[in-house]
Structure 1
Amino acid sequence: MKCPALSLVLAICGSAASGGGPCGGFVAAGDEIRAMLDGHPLLAGAALLIGDREGVLHESYYGSYRPSTVVPVASASKLLSGVAILTLADDGLLDLDAPVERYLPEEFASDAVGLKSTMTVRQMFAHISGLPGDETSGVLSDTTITLAEAAAEIACCVPLEDVPGASFAYGGLSMQVGGRVAEVVSGRDWESFFVSAVGGPLGLDSIDYQGLGPTTNPRIAGGAQSNLRDYGRVMAMLLGGGEVDGVRVLGEQTVAEMMMDRTAGLPRRSPPPPGGEDYGYGFGGWVSRVDADGTTVGFTSPGAFGFTPWVDLERGIYGVIMIEGSRQVVLDHLDAIQAAVEAEVDGCASLCPGDLVEPFGVVNFFDIAAYLDRYSAGLMSADLAPPLGSLNFFDVAAYLGRYNAGCR
C-alpha cells in the first residue's frame, strides 16, 4: 500500500475527529477512570499513559489534570531511587553486595553497630536488611536534617529486628541508608545525583524529591514527585531493557536483576500492599507476576496516594496511572483499568499498526486524518519517534511507516 503524498496528508491535518478504536483509543480504560472520579468527587483529576517499545500508545487527562500536572508519587519513589542506585553499580562504583560499613565506615563500624554493619544495598532496596518496616519514623519525616544525619541516626539508634537477609519488612529506613551510600559514592547530594544519573539522560524536568514539601532530608522511598510523561519515560526505559530512544541508563542484565524476586521463601514482618498479597519484591519494586519458569513478567511500584506504574513484559507495554488520592481508591478500579488495557493491546496484536478508526481491519484516509488530528491537538499519543516530548515531522514519518505496513 502506498501512502498519499505528504503534502496531501498535511493538508488534511485537523479535519477529522480522532477515533477511539481498538488500537490506541483505550476507551474502556478511560471509562473506568471516569467512573473512579465520579465515585470520588473530591479528587481533582487523573491521567493515564500507555506505551510500548515503539513509543506512547495513549495519553489522556481527566478533571483538572494536564501534562504539566505534578503530583507526589509516594512509594512509586522506590522504583525511581532503585534505578538511580543501580547506575552506580553499572558504572562499577558500587558493589551492591558489599557491607554498608565499606561505604559508611564511621556510622556503621562493626564494633559499634554489630550485625547492622553487614547490611548490603541490595538488601536495603529489597527490604530484607533486617531494619524495621517503618514508613512513619521521625528520621524519615524530619525535614530539617540532612540525609547524612538521617543515616547516622538510623545507624546509632534504630535496632535491627532480624538478621540481614533473613526476612522481609517493607519500609523506608533501609532505603534512606542506601540513599546516603549513593551520595558518598557519587560525591553529590541526592537531588543532584538523581539528575546526573537519571533525570538528565532521560530529559526529566519534573522529578525531584520535594514531593512532600521542601526538605534537606530527601525521602528516598517516598518523597518524589513527577508529571505523567516523565515517570512514563522511566517505565519506557525499563521496558526497553535499560534503554529508550538510544539513551542507555541501565544494562539489560541489570534491569533483569532489578525485577528478580529477592524475597521468595522469606518470612514477612510487614504486609504487602493491598491487592498484592502474592507479590514478591525486587530492587525498588514489586514483582507482580511471573511466568511458568518463575521469570518476572510484571513489575510495579504503587504509591500510597494512588500513583501506579507498571511494566507488562509479556505484552511488551508499560502503564502509569497518575492520581493524588489514596491507594485504595485506585485499587477498587485497578483490575478493571488494567484488564481493559490488556484486552485492547491483545486485540491490537492481530490488527494493523496504523489502524486508528473505523472501518477496522484496513488502513485508509480516515486513519491518516485521525492521526493528524491527534498530532494537531498536541496529544502525546501522536509522539511516535525521538526526540520524544515534542511533536515534529519525525512523528508524522513514523506514523506513515506504520500506515505503509498495512495489515498483518
Structure 2
Amino acid sequence: MHSRRLILSLLAASPFLPLARAGAAPIDPTSPDLPQVTSLIQGAIRRHRLDGVAAVAHHRGKVLYRGYFGTIGPGTAIQVASASKWVAGLVIMALVGQGKLRLDLTLGQAGLVASGPASAITLAQLMSHTSALSAIGPIRQDRRYPTPTAAAKGLAEMDLIGQPGQVFAYAGVSMQVAAYLAEQAGGADWNSLFRRLIADPLGLSPVCRWGDQWGVAGGLIASPDDYERILLLITRQGLTQDERRLLPPDLFPAMEHDRIGTAERREQPDAADAMKGYGIGLWCEAIEGDGSCPIISSPGAFGTWPRIDRGRDLSILLMVKSRLPRVVDDWKSIIRALTLAAGG
C-alpha cells in the first residue's frame, strides 16, 4: 500500500507528466485499463478546461478504475462541498453506535428547545433536512451560524418553515445543530470528533478536516485518497480495508433509509430533481418498497460525486475543482460507463 501511494504521489508531482487534456492519462499502474472511461474524462477536461480530475471505482472488493488527471493527484486537497454531508453522517452514526446519541433524540430532550413544535425535532430530521428549520444558504449561514454552538444558540430566533417531518429543505443549518449535539455527546469539537472516530482509525491525511467555511454540511476538505478510504469504509459497512471493525454494520441500514417519505419538497438544488429520497447525510438515487436505498450518493456543488450501488457492489468517486452543474452530464456518462464495465 505504501509503495503504491508513493508511486502515485511521484506521478502526480512529476513535471514531465503531460496533462490529460493533452491526450495522456496518468492512470494508477495497478488499475485496469478502461479506454472508454479515460476518453470520457479527457473529453470533460477539454470541454470545460478543467485543471484535473480524480476518478476511482471499486467493484466487488477490487479496483475497477483509478485515474488521476492534470493537476489532481491522490493527495490533492479539494473542497468537497455537500459531499461533506455523507461524512458528517458517519460521525453522527459513530456516536449512535457508541450509545452516546439516538436518532430519535429530540431538541426538547436535549434541553435546546423548551416547548413548541421545534422541541419535537429529532436528530434524524436534523440530518435528513426534514426538521423544518430555516433553509438559508451557506454564505448567510457562515455569517449568522458559523459554528455548531452558534446554531444551537440561535434556535430561539429561527422560524420553522413548516411542520417537522412534513417538509424537506436542503440546507446546512440543521446539520450545524446536529453537530452541536454530537459535540456535547462526544465531549470534543467537531474536527476532533472526526479525527478520533473516523479519520485517525482510517489513516486519513492531516489535510482531511473541516475548514472555516460552509459549516458541517459543506466544509470538508479531503484528498481523493482520503475520500476513497471513507467511501470504502461505507461500502464495507464499517470494515476497514485491513478487516478492522470500525463501525457496527447495523448502523448502515438506518443511515441508508429514506427519511423524506411523503414530506413536501420545499428547497433542493436543481441537480437533485432525479433523486428519489434522502437518508442520514446522503441522497437516495433509488428506493425500495421498504424505504431502503440501494443506490446512495452525496454530490457536492464543486463537482465531487461519491456514489455506492449496493446491488452491484460498485463504488465510484469523482473529484474535481469545478462546479457540479458544468460537469454533471459528463459525470453521469462516466458513471454509466463504469457501471457497464462492472457488468451493467
TM over 0.5: yes
Matched with 1:109 is 114
2:58 and 2:287 map into 1 onto residues whose CA distance is 21
Matched with 1:59 is 66
Matched with 2:331 is 334
Matched with 2:322 is 325
1:343 aligns with 2:340: yes
TM-score when normalising by structure 2 = 0.85
Matched with 1:82 is 89
Q: Secondary structure in 2 aligned to 1:247?
A: coil
Percent identity (aligned): 30
Matched with 1:259 is 256
| AA aligned opposite 2:114 | A
| AA aligned opposite 2:209 | D
What does 1:81-160 correspond to in 2, within 5 Å? 81-103=88-110, 105=111, 107-110=112-115, 114-136=116-138, 138=140, 140-142=141-143, 146-153=147-154, 155-160=155-160
Residue 228 to residue 19, structure 1, CA distance change in 2 (3 Å): closer
2:150 and 2:236 map into 1 onto residues whose CA distance is 37
Q: Using the TM superposition, give the Cα deviation of residue 306 of structure 1 relative to its aligned residue in structure 2, in angstroms.
A: 0.7
1:26 and 1:313 map into 2 onto residues whose CA distance is 22
* Per-residue deviation, residues 87-139 of structure 1 (Å, max 9, x unmatched): 11111111110212333x2x4222xxx2212211100111110113323363x
Q: Secondary structure in 1 aligned to 2:151?
A: helix
1:123 and 1:62 map into 2 onto residues whose CA distance is 39
2:286 and 2:324 map into 1 onto residues whose CA distance is 19
| AA aligned opposite 1:157 | E
Q: Using the TM superposition, give the Cα deviation of residue 55 of structure 1 relative to its aligned residue in structure 2, in angstroms.
A: 4.1
* 8 Å contact kept, 2:128–2:281: yes
* 8 Å contact kept, 1:299–1:310: yes
What does 1:234-313 correspond to in 2, within 5 Å? 234-245=230-241, 246-274=243-271, 276-291=273-288, 295-313=292-310
Q: Using the TM superposition, give the Cα deviation of residue 250 of structure 1 relative to its aligned residue in structure 2, in angstroms.
A: 2.4
1:275 and 1:129 map into 2 onto residues whose CA distance is 19
Matched with 1:398 is none
2:288 and 2:135 map into 1 onto residues whose CA distance is 29
* 8 Å contact kept, 1:134–1:170: no
Which of residues 12, 28, 35 in structure 2 aligns to 1:27?
A: 35
| AA aligned opposite 1:109 | A
Matched with 1:4 is none
1:204 aligns with 2:204: yes
For CA contacts below 8 A with separation 6 or more, give which structure has more relative contact order.
Answer: 1
Q: Using the TM superposition, give the Cα deviation of residue 296 of structure 1 relative to its aligned residue in structure 2, in angstroms.
A: 1.9
Q: Using the TM superposition, give the Cα deviation of residue 30 of structure 1 relative to its aligned residue in structure 2, in angstroms.
A: 1.8
| AA aligned opposite 1:160 | L
Residue 144 to residue 267, structure 1, CA distance change in 2 (3 Å): closer
2:146 and 2:76 map into 1 onto residues whose CA distance is 29
Q: Using the TM superposition, give the Cα deviation of residue 301 of structure 1 relative to its aligned residue in structure 2, in angstroms.
A: 0.2
| AA aligned opposite 2:217 | A
Q: Secondary structure in 1 aligned to 2:167?
A: coil
Q: Secondary structure in 2 aligned to 1:47?
A: strand
* Per-residue deviation, residues 179-225 of structure 1 (Å, max 9, x unmatched): 01100000000010111111111111132011xxx46xx71100001
1:25 and 1:253 map into 2 onto residues whose CA distance is 36
Matched with 1:368 is none
Question: Please, which moves more after superposition, 190-199 or 94-103?
Answer: 94-103
1:19 and 1:115 map into 2 onto residues whose CA distance is 53
| RMSD, aligned CA | 2.4
Q: Secondary structure in 1 aligned to 2:125?
A: helix
Residue 203 to residue 265, structure 1, CA distance change in 2 (3 Å): same
1:133 and 1:277 map into 2 onto residues whose CA distance is 21
* Per-residue deviation, residues 35-92 of structure 1 (Å, max 9, x unmatched): 1110111x21111011134243321111111112111000000000000000111111
1:316 aligns with 2:313: yes
Q: Using the TM superposition, give the Cα deviation of residue 278 of structure 1 relative to its aligned residue in structure 2, in angstroms.
A: 4.0
* 8 Å contact kept, 1:202–1:247: no
* Per-residue deviation, residues 257-292 of structure 1 (Å, max 9, x unmatched): 111111122211113541543420011000002357
1:272 and 1:262 map into 2 onto residues whose CA distance is 18
Q: Secondary structure in 2 aligned to 1:252?
A: coil
* 8 Å contact kept, 1:120–1:129: yes
* 8 Å contact kept, 1:73–1:303: yes
Structure 1 residue ranges without an equivalent (≥5): 1-17, 348-408
Structure 2 residue ranges without an equivalent (≥5): 1-25
Residue 243 to residue 277, structure 1, CA distance change in 2 (3 Å): same
TM-score when normalising by structure 1 = 0.73
Residue 292 to residue 27, structure 1, CA distance change in 2 (3 Å): farther
Residue 126 to residue 19, structure 1, CA distance change in 2 (3 Å): closer
* 8 Å contact kept, 1:53–1:236: no
Q: Using the TM superposition, give the Cα deviation of residue 293 of structure 1 relative to its aligned residue in structure 2, in angstroms.
A: 6.5
* Per-residue deviation, residues 134-162 of structure 1 (Å, max 9, x unmatched): 23363x31399543123212x12211111
Residue 297 to residue 226, structure 1, CA distance change in 2 (3 Å): same
Matched with 1:391 is none
2:68 and 2:266 map into 1 onto residues whose CA distance is 38
* 8 Å contact kept, 1:280–1:288: yes
1:294 and 1:130 map into 2 onto residues whose CA distance is 21
What does 1:217-236 correspond to in 2, within 5 Å? 219-236=215-232
